[in-house]
Amino acid sequence: MNFNVIDIKQWPRKPYFEHYTSVHECTYSMTLNVDVSLLLQSLRTRGLKFYPAFIYMVTRVVNERVEFRTSYHPKPLLGYWDSMTPSYTYFHHDDQTFSCVWTEFSDDFSRFHNRYEQDMERYRDVKGIFVKENPPPNTFFISMIPWASFSGFNLNMTNGNTDFRPIITGGKFAEQGGRMLLPIALQVHHAVCDGYHASLFFQDLQTLADSCNEWL
């Protein structure tokens, strides 16, 4: 969990960073459908749930690009983490609230899945927003809205936003032309991430979904 400080004076993104943090502060979201037909079939064959696989794929993609790993630690030190840790929501059916848990990540899906199952076994019935103690500073946030197959989703930040970590939200599967599509919204800060990088996020995510039999 190493944090690499950025020398802003020598940073190629310096004019963009300054513009989108001081002149026109700007976050934005992009929502695309990802084809998860093969992934769902492969998970079903193995008796595995979708959500931990979704968290795994998203975290792998986030960890592949420095734009998604950039943050303050602490402010005003700007830099990027060697890797990020997923913090994800889960739903309480009895009172319709949610809680957040973080799980130590591993590129090995089986190892990550075991850690996920251990965390859910311990915390699934614990109420509150953040229920697992000592979240590391390199966490980022993942959630799902499985009741709606949305075409757009945006979190409206108030009182200024200098949190550069991405936020990823999945929706409800929708069948289209024999394919199972999952709407996914990516929210990022324009100071550290442009539309090009957001587009690569979805391309990389689709590649992982298509190659699921190589990592499941």
Active site residues: 190
User: Can you tell me the distance from the alpha carbon of 211 to that of 143, in angstroms, rounded to the nearest whole number?
Assistant: 23
* Residue 166: both structure tokens together: 């991405």
The DSSP symbol for 72 reads: E
User: Can you tell me the distance from the alpha carbon of 71 to that of 73, in angstroms, rounded to the nearest whole number?
Assistant: 6
Q: Angle at Cα 157 formed by Cα 152 and Cα 159, nearest 5°? A: 160
User: Can you tell me the distance from the alpha carbon of 69 to that of 58, in angstroms, rounded to the nearest whole number?
Assistant: 13
Residues near 132 by beta carbon (within 8 Å), at least 6 away in sequence: 100, 101, 102, 119, 123
Chain length of the chain: 216
Residues near 47 by beta carbon (within 8 Å), at least 6 away in sequence: none
CA distances from 117 to 39, 48, 135, 143 (A): 19, 11, 17, 17
